[in-house]
Chain A
Amino acid sequence: MIAALYLQVTARSAAAGREIQEIRVQIMAVQRANADLETQLAGLTSSAEMQRRALALGYRPVKPGELDYVAVTGFVAPEPAILRAAKDISQFSLPLPPEYTQSLIEWFDDRIKSGGK
């Protein structure tokens, strides 16, 4: 019975370990894909590219005399997205749950201390 229990725990531990390895690889792949997409998007919206597309659509640069200015009381120009996003990045850095880090003994100890709750 002990052997069966030990085998079961070991098997689950091995499966969890393999899952960690796979997730780690996935995280790195997603990070790379994210960086690639950001750079790709920046290339597609680069200054030269936007200017080329605007001219192709028939737009031309504005002259100072052609502008109308309107004063809007209380208007504050919005911050760029990169600065707005900075406040939310921390939610993506949560630590691993205890199931992935606790040993069997630590789990027993934890359960005993918490009264089996």
Chain B
Amino acid sequence: MRQQYAIRSLVLVIGFVLVALAVIAQMLRIQNSAQAKIFLSQGDQYSGEFSMFYPERGEIYDRNGHLLAGNRTVYEVGVSLSQMQNPEALALLLGTYLGKAHNEIYNQLTNSPKSWEYIVVQDYVGDETVAALQKIMQQREEADDYSLRGLGFKPHFQRSYPENALASNVLGFVTRDGRGYFGIEEKYNDLLAGNPVQVWVPTDPNKASEIPRVPNGTTLVLTLNRDLQAKVETILDDSLSKYGAENGAIIVMNPNNGEILAMATTPRLDLNNYTNYFELYDNGSQYNRAIGMAYEAGSVVKILTMAAALDTGTVTPETTFIDTGSIEVGGITVWNWNRQPWGQQNMTECLQHSLNVCMAWISSQMGPQTFYGYMERFGLGHQTGIDLSGEALGRLKVPGDTDWYPVDLGTNAFGQGVTITPLQLLMSASAIANDGRMVTPHVLYAMLRDGHQYNVPSQYAGSPIKAQTAETLNAMLAVSLEQESSLALLPGYRLAGKTGTAQIPTPYGYSESQTNASFIGWGPVDDPQFMVYVWLQKPSASIWSSETAAPVFAQVAEQTVIMLNIPPDLVRNQYGSR
């Protein structure tokens, strides 16, 4: 009996072992079969996904911490096709809220390739729209209506400009592909954008690991003063309207360190609607005329000619010149702006009355080598190196160039035949306002990254003239401004400056009726803390700079002394003497 049980037990054990072996064999067969690899690869597809983590684009602030460019959340609205239950209901809802045709969405949802899992219906949808869609989804699901199942929203950042068009010419803009165009956004695109990181993110919580920290893009603090920028833009817009000018530019710079405090141009683009770009501009150089458009500025260049002449000792402020109304240079007669003789003039009076003949005589006395040597040292024909994209070169013809003629020595001396950008002349003249040292203009004040602040040091672009020359010319320009261009004066402050009225070159010679009106000035003369350049294109109310650009300069100077807390000379000297 016991033996019988033993045999039965043995048979059962053998049976169980055989079954177990069969199970193991089957497991091994399945695991090593051809289909196993397919199943494994299918499983791997769902074990996680490669995710690209894009850093938040760095913000841009003005020097007082006002946000000029930030980021806001927008959504990619899409449908998961495997979860979708009612394409008709989805198409109806999305068509209504996203402003797209119902048929278009319905075809997209129903006629997509079989392999597609997810369809993007629309990207960059605002949070108000998404909130409304989410509310409807929630209401329907609470009522056991799952017709909107599959609808999803993926948040991401979009560039946002809280000040809209303010300083648009300096900031530039970022398109939907994340690339910066123009201004700061283009110049510092790599810094602002940061470095995206691709990471394998497992769906299995057991395999969850720390995602490497993706540092945000570098935050930039600009030298711009937002409130001054707003004031200057308002003044520019009003002056275009008042004087009937086509366009214009105004720059305010600190002559001691090259910091740009305001840079206004027209037209300006609402950066939150950058797609209007092509309606406003014919080409990229118009985006920021202050740096992108070189033009013949006329008499404002005379201050550089006088600086060179004083520095070389060719003239002194007391040197006299008998103005007969015309002078022959290179076989061609050069005339004064009013074609009248002015008689005996000293050098201050030559600047005061803006005499072309006097300037042509001065450059002839210096000779081409000396004159053009100084113009080169002042940076004419070169970029200033400002940290904004889209800077134009300007043109200074020099002896040896195929299009240079001897008469150019005379005409270039009073700003004809030489093209510059407003910023170039501002940089050149900074040597006069800054004891002979020329500053490199810049708009970046500091960079913030990972909690560290990196300040941008000021750079100097050489000393084209001696400090003594700068001091002498400062005084001459202050006197000439006081005696000639009363509309540019600011009560309580001694300023230096020069007008520039330039006829506009055409294929048939210079236009008699259209001019570029410019003005460059700075103050206070004994301690210059701001420089201003004004350019009005083709003013129709008056062709003269002294009647258009000069009063605009006074308005800008008035706002600048208020915004920068610069007391009147009398008050400042009282405090300084204590």
Interface positions of A (Cβ within 8 A of B): 10, 13-18, 20-21, 24, 29, 31-33, 35-36, 38-43, 45-48, 51, 62, 64-65, 67, 69, 71, 80-83, 86-90, 93, 95-96, 100-101
Interface residues in B51-90 by Cβ distance below 8 A to A read: 56, 59, 61, 63-67, 70-73
Closest CB of chain A to B65's CB: distance in Å?
3
Pairwise interchain contact A47-B219, C-beta atoms closer than 8 A: no
Q: B65 is contacted by which of A14, A39, A62, A81 (Cβ under 8 Å)?
A: A81
Closest CB of chain B to A7's CB: distance in Å?
12
Interface size class of chain B, counting residues whose CB lies under 8 Å from the partner chain: 35 or more
Kindly list chain B residues whose C-beta atoms are within 8 Å of the C-beta of A20. 205, 208-210
Given A64-B492, A80-B63, are A86 and B453 neighbors across the interface (CB < 8 Å)?
yes
Pairwise interchain contact B66-A64, C-beta atoms closer than 8 A: no
Pairwise interchain contact A18-B163, C-beta atoms closer than 8 A: no
Pairwise interchain contact B64-A80, C-beta atoms closer than 8 A: yes
Interface positions of B (Cβ within 8 A of A): 56, 59, 61, 63-67, 70-73, 127, 155, 157, 160, 162-164, 166, 204-211, 213, 219, 221, 226-227, 229-230, 446, 448, 450-453, 490-492, 558, 561-562, 565, 567-568, 571, 575, 578
Q: A45 is contacted by which of B66, B210, B446 (Cβ under 8 Å)?
A: B66
Given A89-B450, A90-B450, are A39 and B492 neighbors across the interface (CB < 8 Å)?
no
Q: B163 is contacted by which of A47, A67, A96, A101 (Cβ under 8 Å)?
A: A47
Chief secondary structure at chain B's binding surface: mixed
Closest CB of chain A to B562's CB: distance in Å?
6
Q: B208 is contacted by which of A18, A67, A82, A87 (Cβ under 8 Å)?
A: A18
Pairwise interchain contact B491-A64, C-beta atoms closer than 8 A: yes
Pairwise interchain contact B226-A47, C-beta atoms closer than 8 A: yes
Kindly list chain A residues whose C-beta atoms are within 8 Å of the C-beta of B229. 47
Given A42-B67, A80-B61, are A48 and B451 neighbors across the interface (CB < 8 Å)?
no
Pairwise interchain contact B558-A86, C-beta atoms closer than 8 A: no
Pairwise interchain contact A42-B65, C-beta atoms closer than 8 A: no
Q: B450 is contacted by which of A35, A64, A93 (Cβ under 8 Å)?
A: A93
Kindly list chain B residues whose C-beta atoms are within 8 Å of the C-beta of A95. 210
Pairwise interchain contact B448-A86, C-beta atoms closer than 8 A: yes
Pairwise interchain contact A83-B230, C-beta atoms closer than 8 A: no
Kindly list chain A residues whose C-beta atoms are within 8 Å of the C-beta of B490. 64
Pairwise interchain contact A82-B448, C-beta atoms closer than 8 A: yes
Given A86-B453, A96-B210, are A69 and B205 neighbors across the interface (CB < 8 Å)?
no
Give the complex CA separation of A45 and B448 in angstroms: 22
Give the complex CA separation of A39 and B69 in angstroms: 8
Number of A-B residue pairs with CB-CB distance less than 8 Å in the complex they form: 125
Pairwise interchain contact A46-B73, C-beta atoms closer than 8 A: no
Given A17-B206, A18-B205, A35-B157, are A47 and B452 neighbors across the interface (CB < 8 Å)?
no
Closest CB of chain B to A61's CB: distance in Å?
8
Give the complex CA separation of A100 and B260 in angstroms: 49
Q: A48 is contacted by which of B59, B213, B230 (Cβ under 8 Å)?
A: B230
Give the complex CA separation of A14 and B492 in angstroms: 75
Kindly list chain B residues whose C-beta atoms are within 8 Å of the C-beta of A36. 72-73, 127
Q: A35 is contacted by which of B73, B209, B492 (Cβ under 8 Å)?
A: B73
Given A35-B157, A47-B163, are A42 and B66 neighbors across the interface (CB < 8 Å)?
yes
Q: Which of A13, A32, A62, A93: most chain B CB closer than 10 A?
A: A32
Q: B446 is contacted by which of A41, A62, A83 (Cβ under 8 Å)?
A: A83
Pairwise interchain contact A35-B72, C-beta atoms closer than 8 A: yes
Closest CB of chain B to A22's CB: distance in Å?
10
Pairwise interchain contact A82-B221, C-beta atoms closer than 8 A: yes
Pairwise interchain contact B452-A86, C-beta atoms closer than 8 A: yes
Closest CB of chain A to B555's CB: distance in Å?
11
